[in-house]
Amino acid sequence: MAGSTPASPTADVAAVVRPTQGRRVTPAREAWRRFRRHRLALGSAAILSAMILALLLGPLIWPVPINAIDFAAQLQGPSLAHPLGSDDLGQDLLARMIYGGRISMSVGIAATLVAVIVGVVIGAIAGTARSAIDMGLMWLCDLFLSLPQLPLLLLIIYLFEASLRKVVGQQFGTFILIVAVIGGFRWMSIARLVRAQFFSLREKEFVEAARALGASTFRQVVHHILPNAVSPVIVAGTIEVANAIIAESTLSFLGLGFPPDIPSWGRILYDAKDYLDVAPHWALVAGGAIFLAVMTINYIGDGLRDALDPRRVI
């Protein structure tokens, strides 16, 4: 029409082509998408979740006392009365495996938390500080790495187990000692990893900008550097859970872990070693549970490593 203003071609295109409103892509969603593509890690996460759910709900489904003795059922194989068989005293292995799995998993997670906290603190201080402090902390890390861990673990448990049990009780005292000992010898790799991440991140542009704006060193570490160094720590911590479970099983297998009346998976395996020829199911049940838990945790760690690595294309 004469005198009318012609429509803008850009407006026509915008009217025809309207952007679709999709879901916002967040780092968590992107990590989950990448993790789902790792089939072994996804399957391992499902298996481990089922194991943990069975450990949590097991006493409600199978309410058999772990110390109920039945001499008529000594060293029996799997049956309806005892789905995983029985031990030399006729105690039900399924009930003891459920109870022991709680202990082994709790030790693994708690020891890993100790190792991660100590490693992150020492690695952050070493990565932020200069010269003497960094050299001293790395010397301490090298010292712990050079120590023979298993003999030292045995010595510490031998020296302090009895006194700690008198103070806080037998079960809780053994738990605290094993967690402290395992976690105290697992922080070095995490500290080195965090230190390397801090060396790389403290020279980045966003940290330089925060420093130029007057941010304190503590604020730079807490708000800018540490959140960007969490991903490799999560991966390392996941793998350390498996290592802690193996360490606790090793100590229990050597007879220096939990006492016989407190069954962990390692203790059950230790008790089964003298009956391998007449009751192989006893050792296979405990060893299979340790193997399955460690394998699934390692595969989950591999999946997290791929999912949280921005340089890896999946």
Q: Which residue has the higher pLDDT, 130 or 135?
A: 135
Q: Which residue has the higher pLDDT, 1 or 31?
A: 31
Q: What is the pLDDT of residues 49-81, one digit of tens each?
A: 999 999 999 888 888 888 888 888 888 888 888
Average pLDDT of span 85-96: 87
Element (H, E) at 120: helix 93-128
pLDDT at 113: 92
pLDDT at 15: 45
Q: What is the pLDDT of residues 185-200, one digit of tens each?
A: 888 889 998 888 888 8
Q: Do residues 181 and 252 make contact, with C-beta atoms less than 8 angstroms apart?
A: no
| Integer Cα distance of 42 and 34 in angstroms | 10
Q: Do residues 275 and 255 make contact, with C-beta atoms less than 8 angstroms apart?
A: no
Average pLDDT of span 270-296: 88
The dotted CATH code for 34-62+86-307 is: 1.10.3720.10
- Candidates 50, 100, 146; CA nearest to 271 is 100
Average pLDDT, the chain: 81
pLDDT at 245: 85
Q: Which residue has the higher pLDDT, 2 or 130?
A: 130
Query: According to the per-residue pLDDT averaged within each range, which of 107-116, 150-159, 214-223, 245-254 is highest?
Result: 107-116
Average pLDDT of span 202-229: 81
Q: Which residue ranges make up each domain of the chain? A: 34-62+86-307
